[in-house]
Amino acid sequence: MIFLDSSYIKGLIIKRDSHKEFSNSIKPYLKKETKVINITVFLEVLNALRQNNYQGDFDEIIHELCNLDVFDWLTKEDYRLAMEKFRFYNGSINFADCTILVTMEKYGITRIVTTDSDFAKIKGLRRICGVL
C-alpha cells in the first residue's frame, strides 16, 4: 500500500503544475500498488483545480479519486488523533498532513508519494519524491 499526496495528484492533472514532471515519472511505477488517499487529499486537489482554473471534467476527477483502492473518510476520532500529532510536532507539520499521517497509521502504510518535505521529518516513513 502507498499513500498518494495531493502534490503528486495535482502534478498529474494541472498542466502547468511545478510537480508535473515528477508525477509523470513516478506514475508507471505505481500501477501494481494499492493506492490510498483520504478526504484531506481529495479536498486539496479539488481546491487546487479551482485555483488553477481547471477546464476539464470535474466529475471524472471526482470519480477517479473516489474510486482509488482505498478512500479514507476521516472520523471524529481520526481528527482527534491528528490534533494530537499536530501538537506533538508543535505545528511544524501542518494539520492537513497530520490527518494524512493518521490515515497512514490506520492502514499500516509507511510509504508516501509526495514532494512535501515536511514528511521527511517523520521517522519510519519513506517519502517517494523522485524516480524510483
3-state helix/strand/coil string of 54-109 = CCCCHHHHHHHHHCCCEEECCCHHHHHHHHHHHHHCCCCCCHHHHHHHHHHHHHCC
Its pTM stands at: 0.94
SS3 31: coil
pLDDT at 30: 96
pLDDT at 10: 97
pLDDT at 132: 46
No. of H helices and E strands in the chain?
A: 6, 5
What is the 8-class DSSP label of residue 34?
A: P
The domain made up of 2-128 has a fold known as Rossmann fold (3.40.50)
- Mean pLDDT per 10-residue run, the chain (132 residues)? 97 94 95 97 97 94 96 98 97 97 98 95 91 49
What are the cell numbers at 118? 515536511
Q: Which residues contact 49 (CB under 8 A, 6 or more apart)?
A: 10, 13, 14, 56, 58, 61
